[in-house]
Structure 1
């Protein structure tokens, strides 16, 4: 997962996360990753329209943003 996030930083790609928050609620986020530390990432969250910190342990899945058909 870290390699995919590092590649997203290098290529300035938006990523799609499934993230588990502190209340154990899963949410889908579209983010632009800026920085990766040992246990978290800093990213602009397009869903919340703000820079957010995400714990790596709480990221359930990550992948490139899928293009929608006809968009």
Structure 2
């Protein structure tokens, strides 16, 4: 995951309630099994458990 720090990616993520979501985020940092990212849908920083990420793809983000 370190290769994605500072980049815009799309995550397919399974949350605590076992619901699948697709998130466009900018990855800020990676520590252990967690990553901190800015989530554009929530318009806030979020912590994601790396073990719950199903897929990661680089995207182009126009700000």
TM class, shorter-chain normalised? 0.7 to 0.9
State the TM-score, normalizing by the size of structure 2. 0.87
Count of matched residue pairs: 61
Which has more helix, going by share of residues? Answer: 1
Two-structure CA RMSD over aligned residues (Å) = 1.5
List 4+ stretches of structure 1 deviating above 3 A. none
Q: Which has the higher contact order (CA 8 A, sep 6+)?
A: 2
Gaps of 5+ in 1: none
Among residues 30, 51, 63, which one is paired with 2:57 in the alignment? 63
From the CA coordinates, give the structure whose radius of gyration is larger.
1
